[in-house]
Amino acid sequence: MLTKLKFATAISCIDGRVHLPIINWLMREYSVDYVDIISEPGMDGIFVSYPAMVQYIKTKASLSVVKHGSDIIFVSAHHDCAGNPVSKEEHLEMLKKCVVDIRGWELPVKYIISAWIDEKFRVNVVNINGAKQ
């Protein structure tokens, strides 16, 4: 009998430099088997400036949660983002909006995690479930 696979959902920039660090971190910290990736250039900026696109992202996240049983949504911003070239401080403020919006989706997940991916492409948790760490 096969055990149920555990999924997480990552909402991130298309920048390929961030994908493996995010996947590896989620696999190590939350023992997931797979990570569904939803990516757009400058993802945190999309949450601030393009509400219609956020609805499309919500649809994708819902599919991951409902069909794959993902119980973690991980949203990130990163250093040297070409799609949203703002300061780290601005990215961190935008991540707050991302978390508020994702919580508003009311998906049945255990964790909503936001993180900053630094210049060495390390995952730095900003908050979990909207509570500042």
Report yes or no: 14 and 40 within 8 Å, Cβ to Cβ.
Answer: yes
Residue range 7-132 forms a domain whose CATH class is alpha beta
User: What pTM does this model have?
Assistant: 0.94
Percent of the chain with pLDDT strictly greater than 90: 92
> What is the per-residue pLDDT across 70-100, written as a single tens digit (0 to 9) for each?
999 999 999 999 999 999 999 999 999 999 9
pLDDT at 2: 46
Residue that is written with structure tokens 């119980």 in the block: 71
Q: State whether the Cα torsion 48-53-55-58 is positive or negative.
A: negative
The answer, yes or no, to whether residue 55 has pLDDT greater than 50, is yes
Question: Edge-to-edge, what's the strand order for the sheet holding 131-132?
Answer: 34-39, 7-12, 72-78, 111-117, 123-128, 131-132
User: What's residue 34's pLDDT?
Assistant: 97
Domain definitions of the chain by residue range: 7-132
112-125 core/surface letters (b: 16 or more CB in 10 A; e: else): bbbbbbeeebebee
